[in-house]
Copies of this chain bind each other. A is one copy, B any other.
């Protein structure tokens, strides 16, 4: 009977995790209004369009590009030769070397297979042309609905990089470009904190005159810039990706990044009641020949994040880190600061063995008060595999945890389990966005 109850509990938990729609905290996805280089069954491909989808994008995801260069010697294929190929040639190359000549057991390879299967295609066919044919018949807009349905995603959070010319232009040219209720905007402005001279030059050029050092007038212009873009994008939060070297030493820290944070970013976010998301630990371009795939990881300084939380109690921070070795300390930091919401397993830690260990650690240290995962999808269809794999791993952890409390006689009800899972997949994010 005890065993039966445990089995029933396990089923409940797995079902709740499977069925709970998720608000994806962070992606690089866009609605069709931002254009797509592959129009499928629709008209009007936009070569510089931002909405990526389809099998060729799946296969040329920068994770897989990085992997294929490992198995094809430089002599056989120099970087430049690869980049000169068409997208389909690149996809063919990756399919050949990572799927056929070796088994596709890396997480990024496996993800392509899961995606195909859940879309109703059969990976067992190994029929790349067939998959291409299927995608060519799909309408990109309807594919968004289909993928969200299959992945159980109720809302997709974009990353809207205001310092990216291609993207900025689209916002300026079309004030409704973001008006797709399936998507929420996030204002991303890395250069403000990472490269002030560059940021200052651009702001000045865009009508917000600021100097290389930060005086009161520069502060005011910086704030105005943020307010304008928050309003233009209707962002739900703001975000920056910071290198592992990022440091914040407290109220007296005169680094330009600390000044910008304290004087420009924090006040505007406080007045707009919006959290800031910090993604820390990506070391840009250690191998520029890999392009998007050329960033590495480095150990970041969790103590700096703790100091920000302490110094800016009227601000709220989302935070994720890239280094495995920061995960424990970051979870501990979240125990210390109610204005710190840990989220997701990012990029190089978004792998099954690491998702398992990180999620386990977080549940043990933080209960249900964190955001277990985000997809970071760059290609629409990836939502399927990212969430499929993560749901299974998160469910494994939760099954263990509910069984542990059930073993004491505590009886979690189905409603309670669904409530907890909703917190993980939706409400923690929504509440943290809403509540000061």
Contacts and interface: CB of A to CB of B under 8 A. Distances in A.
A74 interface: yes
A114 interface: yes
A104 B419 CA distance: 13
A436 to B, nearest CB: 5
A353 B401 CA distance: 11
A214 interface: no
A367 B67 contact: yes
Contacts of A66: 335-336
Interface stretch (A22-30, A194-202, A218-226, A358-366): A358-366
B353 A410 contact: no
Interface string A30-52: 00000000000000000000000
B67 A369 contact: yes
Interface stretch (A131-139, A142-150, A324-332, A374-382): A324-332
A181 to B, nearest CB: 27
A229 interface: no
A430 interface: no
A172 interface: no
Given A103-B420, A328-B348, A73 B338 contact: yes
Contact of A67 (B75, B293, B313, B366): B366
- Interface-centre pick from A283, A348, A402 (highest chain B CB count, 10 A): A348
Interface in A398-436: 398, 401-402, 404-405, 408-412, 416-417, 419-420, 423, 431, 435-436
Nearest to A413: B103
A238 interface: no
B74 A313 contact: yes
A185 to B, nearest CB: 24
A66 B336 CA distance: 6
Contact of A402 (B105, B296, B417): B105
Contacts of A109: 367, 405
Contacts of A364: 106-107, 351-354
Interface in A43-95: 66-67, 69-75
A15 B101 CA distance: 21
B368 A103 contact: yes
A408 B117 contact: yes
Contacts of A290: 336
A110 interface: yes
Given A122-B409, A286-B306, A361 B368 contact: no
A162 to B, nearest CB: 28
A113 interface: yes
B110 A335 contact: no
Nearest to A357: B353
A21 interface: no
Given A366-B67, A409-B122, A436-B74, A401 B329 contact: no
A166 interface: no
B286 A336 contact: yes
11 contacts: A102-B369, A103-B368, A106-B365, A110-B401, A123-B405, A297-B332, A324-B328, A325-B328, A348-B365, A351-B365, A353-B357
Given A73-B436, A110-B401, A325-B329, 19 more contacts: A70-B366, A71-B368, A74-B338, A75-B435, A102-B419, A103-B402, A103-B405, A104-B405, A105-B368, A106-B365, A106-B366, A110-B408, A113-B408, A117-B409, A287-B309, A297-B332, A324-B329, A335-B348, A353-B357
